[in-house]
Structure 1
Amino acid sequence: MEEQKEMKLKVDKTIWKDMFRYLKDFKKDFLILGSFMIGLAAMDIGFPLLTRYAIDNFVAKGDYEGLTRVGILYALLALSLGGIVFLFIRRAGKIEMNIVYKIRKDAFEKLQRLSFSYYDKNAVGWMIARTTSDATKISETVAWGVVDLVWGGTMMLGISIVMLLINWQLALITLLTVPVLALVSVFFEKKMLVSYRNVRKINSKITGLFNDGIVGAKTTKTLVREELNIEEFQEVTTDMKKTSVRAATLSAGYLPMTLFISAVGTVLTLFMGSNLLMDGFLTYGTLVLFITYARQFFDPILELARIYTEMIGAQAAAERVMGLLHEKEEIVDDLVVQKEDYGKIHGDVTFEKVSFYYKEGEYILKDFNLTVKAGETIALVGETGSGKSTLVNLACRFYEPSEGRILIDGEDYQHRPQSWLHSNIGYVLQAPHLFSGTIRENIRYGKLEATEEEIIEAAKVVHAHDFIMKLEKGYDTEVGEGGGMLSTGEKQLVSFARAIIGKPRLFFLDEATSSIDTESEAKIQKAIEEVLTNRTSFIVAHRLSTIKNADRILVIDQGEILEEGTHEELLKNRGHYYELYTNQFVEEAGKEVLQGKVG
């Protein structure tokens, strides 16, 4: 998993440059926000100067008229300050929400385009965390970090210039604390970065456990895994608690340290300034100015220290989000290919010396050859791991051959856009997945322009119409998340209707009847016979009784064809297929006898 890759144990400027380059669309917003913060900092610097002017020119002389003018100016500045604060908070909030939106939109789009291999390598919880907690962490840090960074930088620069111009000796006393703070930051940097990365990793695990616990609730109960799952979850959350406390402790130690250093700087400024005042080198107004500036100078330092801590915490999130966004798509269409219109597929499929491996050298298929004519039905049988589903995935171009090529209508499908092939495919999985929404919305999921007549026709073909009409709301029935409001058989029938509504030329059934009841299987079997007519079809079969009418049955073992022929031919040969069929027949007959006795 990507999560386990080695990471640098320091603040990585490259990551943040990459992140801000990614956020270049917000350049105008950041410039406006920056101008607000510069104006705010200028006003914050101006207040002490106004105080110094009032003390030295009006307080000492008891000039109430002058103090009144200064008071009015103070009030006007305060009103302006309030207006700027309102504008910058509004702008920063807008930037934060837009960043979250952009990251989530781009991450979702990326996940939609990534090849199947990416989903094989990464857990669901890991992917969900990238678009939720990580996106939020980054947006908060970037939006409000820029606010404090520009304000803090402007404050420190402006205060430094003013202090140096007024009294450079006293200014140096205040500025001497900066390198001390830098050394403290370096000390805490690596420790905090490691801790926050660990927090993000464990958070992804927790998200995954929640997902597994909800999706697999029935399995958990049937296997009596509740207590074991609770123990596992408590173990991970306890680890999360300890790691979070460790990270919080480091942050808690860092900020008080900077507070102490800033307090020392203020005391030194007061002590040295008082000596200069008593020696006649400083006015009361200037001493108040320097003490105020000493506090103001350390406020942005503390803010920058906080930003630094936030950046360390957010860097782990930024690494993972940018890692996802930069993930290369293994199957990419050529730009020239995308622009061509290749028309409808006829249905000829050819595997030409196809080899495939997930890890180099560990072949699932080796020099595999197969020619399927348009309209022919091919059934694939064999033990688990024999390569049946791999053949289907390659034919669908969910994966591409490591060696050799696959031809559709005589043309290498890598010279055609993926959409050309996929729009001509009907695919039904062993574990049917329905999307939240109504039955109608699920059936027309791949053909949004489908008419009501087409939806009903598709449902009737697969014998789903009758059960749908028995539901209170018919086609407007909500299926629930993942189709949880319907039975497995009903979900399979709906997914079957969804697959055929687009009238595909190629049809793939991957153990589509293995997880449903006998009654539903009988309905689907009737539908299969009607649907597969004049369509090129591949059936991965668990129940061999469902493939009797296939034009050819291929017995696959370790990526090779052991036997090939019709159902009758293979039974006559009394080979591997005969053995599989008779064993399954005896097993199913035994189940029926047992069920009869129980009944």
Structure 2
Amino acid sequence: MEKEKVNSGNIVDFNVLRRLMRFLKPYKGRFFFLIFLTVALGILAPVRPLLIQVTLDKHVAFGDYNGMVMMIVILIGLLILQATVQYLHTYLSGWLGQYVIRDIRVQLYEHLVKLRLKFFDNTPIGRLVTRTISDIETLADVFSQGLAAMMGDLLQLLFILIIMFYSDWRLALISLSTLPILLVSTYIFKEKIKVAFNDVRNAVSNLNSFVQEHITGMSIVQIFGSEPREYDKFKEINREHKRANLKSVLYYSVYFPVAEIISAAGIGLLVWYGAKGVLHEAITGITMGKLIAFIMYIQMFFRPIRMIADRFNTLQLGIVSSSRILKLLDNDEHIPNDGKYTPDHIDGAVEFDKVWFAYNESEYVLKDISFKVKPGETLALVGATGAGKSSIINLLNRFYDINRGTIRVDGTDISDFELSSLREKIGVVLQDVFLFSDTIFKNISLGNDNITKEQVMHAAESVGARKFIERLPGGLEYNVMERGSTLSVGQRQLISFVRAMVYDPRILVLDEATSSVDTETEELIQQAIDKMMTNRTAIVIAHRLSTIQKADKIIVLDKGEIMEVGTHEELLSKNGYYTQLHKMQYKEII
């Protein structure tokens, strides 16, 4: 498994931030109110020490009881106002974060389901899960703990500095004498924790990819007895995850005590200098109230600076996650859906005209493929593994776009069809059946509200699946669990038949749909297939030649090229590729 490495980049990528701000557009009223609350918090916080200074110097020092009571009432009112504003600020920033990431997650998933299959062929699923879940959760912190909180901290610092220097520039300088040391230590911490957090994100992504891959492929792991080896690989990846997290824990455990000591040293210098000033108040103008106010100022000043490094790294993580999310949203590997043709009915004529196709530009898997299938005809595709049979099905459904040539349905280029209109007229039954962890009805209807249970049971009747469905607890409401694990292979295949037939497609594609079932079920399905093919165009990928002897036309493929075309009897008489395939399957009889 390829491990993902992502660089942190700049602390603030304004291009990314600008794009993120677009997601705030539907909530701009609340966003501006949040900015107002942020400014209000920055102003309200330094007012409290100022009121305490006035209380001590103007009222307590002169025994003014009534004045002191009045100031206490004002202070209580200020605290209530500050608490209310803080509540609104915290709630609103969190609210905005959750609504924005909801919108981004919906947009990202909508984008993902439109990407062409080639993208998923080349991208680990675990990495996409990380983008859709973990990275977007990290992005929420940009709004709830990053931007708004940093703006509030910076405004608070600014107002405190203004008040401190306005009140007494000497006490301000003494109070801030340890600030350079704190700034240096904060910068070092920020750089270290930035790298550590980036390592954590990489480790989480690699861990997600590994776990998803190996749980999905657990049967292969167990079949080949690879449990110990895969366990050792997991331990190593998990160890890297632990190391990355412990590194960040170490930096936090060192930085915050150091920052606390520096802050305490600043307060100590302030008290030492201020106490001397209080003793000579007439000369210095330093009062007890002013000294206590400055102690409060310095505590309020150093706290945001200690937190600002953490805020920066929260913002940094959000920017990294945002960059990866936006990169995924910018991915244009999707099938263009510019077609406007949405016919209510098609006859089912299929034509491939000089089609060339390559998954990778330099390696063509289909070379100059041309054939026609009339409405109601059955075409069989045979050939060795890798001959290009499945690629023809993928191209007909526009899971991939061709490099050269034209594919037509009823004489119309398939690129002129609206994509969903084209696909709903083509029923596909694959050899590898995928079922979601949901009810049988949901797996057949795939959430389409226009499909009723009566339609499903009618389709089930036509393929011989009704009896087995009715025997299950709950019938159509029976939960098949993940990948249909509670059903047999044959039952899963029958459900895939019902899923194809419930849309009443005019073109039916069967990828050796009976190869995974037992003989008794195969006979049942073969009878259903004969009914399904009646008055429908059918394209069948066949591995067992016995299943396609009645086909109107058989195409023999080899290395992406058409080698032979004809009926079963015509091809046998040629004594060519088809005859060799036939002999290989029936050599014991021959």
Q: Same fold (TM over 0.5)?
A: yes
Q: Does structure 2 retain, via aligned residues, the 8 Å contact 1:437–1:480?
A: yes
Residue 116 of structure 1: aligned partner: 117
Q: CA deviation at 1:130?
A: 1.6
**CA distance in 2: counterparts of 1:89 and 1:320, whole angstroms:** 27
CA distance in 2, matches of 1:129, 1:490: 34
Give the structure 1 partner of residue 309 of structure 2.
305
In structure 2, distance between residues paired with 1:247 and 1:535:
63
Q: Please name the residue that 1:382 is paired with.
A: 383
1:321 pairs with one of 300, 321, 325: 325
Q: Secondary structure of 2:238's match?
A: helix
Task: List gaps (5 residues or longer) in structure 2.
Answer: none
Q: Is the 8 A contact 2:8 2:198 kept in 1?
A: no
- Residue 11 of structure 1 corresponds to 11
**RMSD over equivalenced CA pairs, Å:** 2.7
Worse-matched range after superposition: 120-129 or 177-186: 177-186
Contact kept? 1:447, 1:501, Cα under 8 Å: no
Q: With structure 2 as the length reference, what TM-score do the two structures score?
A: 0.91
**AA of the residue aligned to 1:63:** D
Query: For 1:93-142, what per-residue CA distance to the aligned partner results, in whole angstroms no more than 9, with x for missing partners?
Result: 32233234223222221221111111111111111122222222211342
Indicate yes or no: 2:298 matched with 1:294.
yes
Structure 2 matches for 1:530-569, cutoff 5 A?
530-569=531-570
Secondary structure of 1:113's partner? coil
> Which range moves more in the overlay, 469-478 or 190-199?
190-199
SS at match of 2:250: helix
Measure the CA separation in 2 of the matches of 1:434 and 1:311: 40
1:158 aligns with 2:164: no
**Contact 1:251-1:309 within 8 A present in 2 as well:** no
- SS of the residue 1:358 aligns to: strand
Q: Is the 8 A contact 2:204 2:241 kept in 1?
A: yes
Q: Which whole-Å CA distance do the structure 1 matches of 2:554 and 2:146 have between them?
A: 64
C-alpha separation in 1, matches of 2:584 and 2:471:
38
Aligned position for 1:593: none
**Structure 1 residue 181: Cα displacement:** 5.2
Q: Is the 8 A contact 2:24 2:31 kept in 1?
A: no
Q: Is the 8 A contact 1:345 1:409 kept in 2?
A: yes
Structure 1 residues 24-39: aligned runs within 5 Å: 24-39=25-40
Contact 2:193 2:313 in 1 (8 A): yes
244-253 or 102-111: bigger deviation:
244-253
| Matched length | 586
Does the 8 Å contact 1:10/1:189 carry over to 2? no
Distance (Å, rounded) in 2 between the aligned partners of 1:343 and 1:179? 75
Tell whether the 8 Å contact from 2:459 to 2:501 is kept in structure 1 after alignment: yes
SS in 1 for 2:352: strand
Of 378-387 and 511-520, more deviation after overlay is shown by 511-520
Worse overlay, 306-315 or 256-265: 256-265
Task: Quote how far apart the aligned CAs of 1:225 are.
Answer: 3.0
Aligned to 2:43: 42
| 2:487 alignment partner in structure 1 | 486
Separation of aligned partners in 2, 1:97 and 1:58: 48
Contact residue 127 and residue 206 of structure 2 kept, 8 A: yes
8 Å CA contact retained: 1:11, 1:189? no
User: What amino acid is aligned across from residue 98 of structure 2 in structure 1?
Assistant: M
User: 388-397 or 10-19: which moved more?
Assistant: 10-19
CA contact (8 A) 1:9 1:194 kept: no
**8 Å contact kept, 2:115–2:334:** yes
Comparing 486-495 with 71-80, greater Cα deviation is found at 71-80
Change (3 A) 1:567 1:188: farther
Check if 1:411 corresponds to 2:415: no
Contact persistence 2:190–2:310 (CA under 8 A): no
CA 1:532–1:447: 2 relative to 1, 3 Å: farther
Identity %: 36
Is the 2:9–2:320 contact (alpha carbons within 8 Å) kept by the matching residues of 1? Answer: no
| CA distance in 2 between partners of 1:366 and 1:173 (Å) | 81
Relative to 1, partners in 2 of residues 1:243 and 1:482: Cα closer, same or farther, differing over 3 Å?
same
Deviations 1:231-275 (A, max 9, x none): 222221112111222233344444445444444444444455456
Unaligned 5+ runs, structure 1: 591-599
Mapping 1:416-435, distance limit 5 Å? 416-435=417-436
Return the letter of the residue paired with 1:57: K
For 1:194-209, what aligned pairs fall within 5 Å after superposition?
194-209=195-210
Q: 1:173 to 1:362 in 2, by over 3 A?
A: farther
Deviation at residue 187 of structure 1 after TM alignment: 4.1
Measured after TM superposition, the shift of residue 156 of structure 1 is 0.9
Partner of 2:517: 516
Structure-2 residue corresponding to 1:597: none
Give yes or no for contact 1:428–1:495 (8 Å, CA) kept in 2: yes
Written as runs of structure 1 = structure 2, the 5 A alignment for 1:332-347 is 332-334=336-338, 337-338=339-340, 341-347=342-348
How far did residue 492 of structure 1 move?
Answer: 0.9
> 1:235 and 2:232 equivalent?
no
